[in-house]
Structure 1
Amino acid sequence: MPKLSPILLLDVIQQQRFGVEYQPLIHTHNLETIAHEALARFYRADEQLLRTDHFFNALHESPLTLFQVEYQMKQLQLENAPSGELFLNLDPDAYAVTEIAGEINPLLELIHCRTHIVLEIIENSNISDARQSANMAKAFHEKNIQLALDDIGSPHSMLSLPILITVDCLKFDRSWFNELDQPNHRTALESLIRYAKDTGKRTVLEGIETIEQLEIARQLDVDMVQGFIFKERFIRVRA
């Protein structure tokens, strides 16, 4: 993975070259917009968009800076959000930086003041990440904030059963489309969707880019879909 230079990182942070893209979550059958997901965007001085995963990976080398950027980004995402339900991603490492026993976490305090929030918990790649995600999920759950488990089924991830049980919404990764011709994979996905329905959880299938994929989502009977086929409904905001 390309390493971003410290000078570039400092410029983006100091000048707050931040943006937000609000992607709609669409009702699978009537195609109405049900909610939006706020996605972080970062820019060079020449307006070139940086890859978000590269930027956050670089920030992880400085935990306090990671927290600072995540906090500023959440302020931007909340202040400019469309009306209605808002799905928010939150980095568990950023949350852990200021997690002090007996004190409310600043990120929790910021987010729980807004209504109609769904906090997305990312899939994890190791036990340490899973523990941090579980701690964060517990804190937000205790504040009656809805939770969604994001990227279910993505490559190189692991599924935490306690988090799966706790969350209110299951979001399935786009990579499922590459595996649905394999009976075991399709059965696994259908079983998770059935589990969600039996326990009152909502479901979202990500990565919808074609009419054919939308039809598959309808056959699977997920509640909502998300993807670039709905690009004309994206909302973009700059700091």
Structure 2
Amino acid sequence: MSKLSPIVLLDVIQQQRFGVEYQPLIHTHNLETIAHEALARFYRADEQLLHTDHLFNELHHSPLTLFQVEYAMKQLQLAHAPAGELFLNLDPDAYAVADITGEENPLLSMLQQRSNVVLEIIENSDISDARQSANMAQAFHKKNIQLALDDIGSPHSMLSLPILITVDCLKFDRSWFNQLYLPNHRIALESLIRYAKDTGKRTVLEGVETAEQLEIARQLNVDMVQGFLFKQRFIQIRA
């Protein structure tokens, strides 16, 4: 993974070269906008967009800085959010920094002030990350904040059964589109969608970029879709 120059990273943080992109979650059949997901964006001084994963990877070397950036980003995402339901990603490591026994986490305090928030729990690649996600999910669940399990089926990820059972929404990774011709993969996806229907959970299929993929989503009977097919509905904000 590419490393960011410390000078670039420091400039981004000090100057708060932050942005947010709101991507719509679309009803699979009538194509109405049901909700939005807020996605973090970061920029160089020359306005060049930075790779979000690369920046967060560097921030993980400094937990307190990670928390500070995540807190500022959530403030931005909440301040400019469209009306209606809002899906938010939250880094479990950033949450853990301020998760002190006997005190309410500032990130939790902030997010529970807005109604219609859905916290996205990211699938994890190792056991320690899974524990962090589970602890965060439990805290938000106790506050009656809805939860979504993100990136289900993405490469190099784990599926936590306790989190799968706890969440209110299942979001399926775009990589499923490359695997549906494999019978076992299609059966697995259809089974997870059926489980969601049977237990009252909503479903989202990510990475919908073509009309053909939208038709696949309709055949699978997922509730919502998300992707570049609906790019004209994206909303971009700069700090």
The TM-score with structure 2 as length reference comes to 1.00
2:4 corresponding residue in structure 1: 4
1:66 corresponding residue in structure 2: 66
2:126 corresponding residue in structure 1: 126
Correspondence list, 1:109-120, <5 A: 109-120=109-120
Please state how far the C-alpha of 1:5 moved relative to its aligned partner.
1.0
Q: What SS class does the counterpart of residue 34 from structure 1 fall into?
A: strand
**Residue 89 in 1 paired to residue 105 in 2?**
no
* Structure 1 spans left out of the alignment, 5+ residues: none
1:162 corresponding residue in structure 2: 162
Q: Matches of 2:2 and 2:235 in 1, distance apart?
A: 28
2:16 corresponding residue in structure 1: 16
Q: Matches of 2:103 and 2:113 in 1, distance apart?
A: 16
How many residue pairs get matched? 239
Moved over 2 A (4+): none
Cα deviation 1:152-195 (Å, max 9, x = unaligned): 00000000000000000000000000100000000000000000
Please state how far the C-alpha of 1:118 moved relative to its aligned partner.
0.2
1:147 corresponding residue in structure 2: 147
Give the percent of matched residue pairs that are identical in Structure 1 and Structure 2.
85
Q: Matches of 1:2 and 1:133 in 2, distance apart?
A: 25
Aligned partner of 2:8: which letter? L
Q: What SS class does the counterpart of residue 149 from structure 1 fall into?
A: strand
Q: Matches of 2:24 and 2:2 in 1, distance apart?
A: 30
Aligned partner of 2:21: which letter? E
Please state how far the C-alpha of 1:40 moved relative to its aligned partner.
0.1
Q: Matches of 1:2 and 1:197 in 2, distance apart?
A: 40
**Residue 33 in 1 paired to residue 29 in 2?**
no
Q: What SS class does the counterpart of residue 237 from structure 1 fall into?
A: strand
1:56 corresponding residue in structure 2: 56
Q: What SS class does the counterpart of residue 118 from structure 1 fall into?
A: strand
2:193 corresponding residue in structure 1: 193
Q: Matches of 2:148 and 2:200 in 1, distance apart?
A: 13
Q: Matches of 1:224 and 1:115 in 2, distance apart?
A: 20
2:237 corresponding residue in structure 1: 237
1:213 corresponding residue in structure 2: 213
Aligned partner of 2:60: which letter? H
Q: Matches of 1:106 and 1:154 in 2, distance apart?
A: 30
Give the RMSD, CA atoms, in angstroms: 0.3
Cα deviation 1:105-138 (Å, max 9, x = unaligned): 0000000111000000000100000000000000
Q: What SS class does the counterpart of residue 101 from structure 2 fall into?
A: coil
Q: Matches of 2:30 and 2:22 in 1, distance apart?
A: 20
Q: Matches of 2:66 and 2:217 in 1, distance apart?
A: 36
Q: What SS class does the counterpart of residue 113 from structure 1 fall into?
A: coil
Aligned partner of 1:57: which letter? N
Q: Matches of 2:54 and 2:62 in 1, distance apart?
A: 14
* Structure 2 spans left out of the alignment, 5+ residues: none
The TM-score with structure 1 as length reference comes to 1.00
Q: Matches of 1:142 and 1:130 in 2, distance apart?
A: 18
Please state how far the C-alpha of 1:205 moved relative to its aligned partner.
0.1
Q: Matches of 1:30 and 1:179 in 2, distance apart?
A: 26
